[in-house]
Amino acid sequence: MKGGLLLKGGVLLKKVGVLLNKGGVLAKGVVLVVGLYLFLKFILPLFTAPLPANLIFLYLVLTVAGIVIFGTISGESTEEFFGPIVRFLSGEGQTGSMKIARLLVLVLFPLLVGWQTYATAVPSDMPPAESRTIHPAPPGEFVGLSNPIPNTPENVMMGKGLFAAFCSPCHGANFDGKGPAARGFDPPPANFVDAGTIAQLQESYLYWRIKKGGVGLPVEGMPWKSAMPRWELELPDEWVWKIIMGEYDGAHQKPRTWE
Ligand code: HEC
């Protein structure tokens, strides 16, 4: 059964090959473009992150430009390249299925372009794909956790020390997000002095962000997929809680509590 299928596939490939040889530059170009599209769209993502649609489009346009240049390099090849298109569209001496195919193309192509234009122009009630609510909700297991470390001067001191050691290269010795390594990150490291960051947040939220960071998030984690390291692999929980304490104290902010 399987062998039969393989055989059939082989025969089909052979037929396509023969057609290609007869079809000249145009047919080869079409196969190349379709093949490239399928490769970029479906095969490449198996190995790396999927390409954005506009990049795929750019590659295809470049490829088509290359094929057109190659196909029109001499008068002879130009005729070979455009001949089939012109003959098909002008309908010269066409009969039967070719005639119908030509009609279909002539009717469907304007409809397709119209539909495409409509689809891009019509206002949509879907939320934009990358709406940035500044702070995402932490996953359930982190909701409502409270800092188990007593808020003593020693613990705050230790938290600040740990912060200086692990976090200040990016978030800055003054907690202002201007550490020596901060430049070059997009999104930039958070500025904890700014009233819009940790002052808006609960300790449980910080605990989640510090433990999971931004690098471990899947692609869908945009825009929280950032350079923020995933500290759960390196710092014991107790240190993370102490760092949170030192962070608030150093930035002169207070964690948000449920009023
Ligand atoms: C390699 C640079 C880097 C280091 C080191 C780093 N961070 Fe970050 N951090 C970032 C970046 C980049 C962001 C991204 C800002 C965002 O996603 O909003 C961030 C975001 C955060 C946030 C989220 C703030 C918010 O408003 O959502 C917290 C909290 C945080 N970092 C705490 C820490 C702590 C604590 C440490 C040390 C244990 C640390 N970071 C070390 C780069 C770093």
Structural domains of the chain in order of their starting residue, each with its CATH number: 21-121 (no CATH), 140-250 (1.10.760.10)
Average pLDDT over residues 105-129: 81
Which of 167, 246, 234 is CA-nearest to residue 203?
Answer: 246
Inter-axis angle of helices 237-250 and 153-166, to 10 degrees? Answer: 100
Instruction: Evaluate: CB of 40 within 6 angstroms of ligand 1.
Output: no
Does 214 contact ligand 1 (Cβ within 6 A)? yes
Percent of the chain clearing pLDDT 70 (strictly above): 86
Q: Is 135 in the pocket of ligand 1 (CB under 6 A)?
A: yes
Question: Which of 255, 227, 229 has the alpha carbon at shortest distance from 241?
Answer: 255
Whether 230 is in the pocket of ligand 1, judged by its Cβ within 6 Å, is: no
Radius of gyration of the chain measured on its C-alpha atoms? 30
Residue to mutate (ligand 1; options 228, 230, 241; most atoms within 8 A of CB): 228
> Residue 115 has what pLDDT?
92
Q: Residue with the nearest Cα to atom 26 of ligand 1?
A: 197
253 lines ligand 1 (CB under 6 A): no
- Identify which of 138, 137, 132, 139 has the alpha carbon closest to the alpha carbon of residue 223: 132
Closest Cα to atom 25 of ligand 1: 197
Give pTM, 2 decimals. 0.55
Q: Is the CB of 164 under 6 A from ligand 1?
A: no
pLDDT at res. 217: 65
Vertex 124, ends 118 and 127: CA angle to 5°?
Answer: 145
pLDDT digits (tens, 9 = 90+) for 93-111: 777 888 888 889 899 999 9
How confident is the model at residue 133, as a pLDDT? 46
Q: Does 29 sit in the ligand 1 pocket, CB within 6 Å?
A: no
Atom nearest to 235 CA in ligand 1: 38
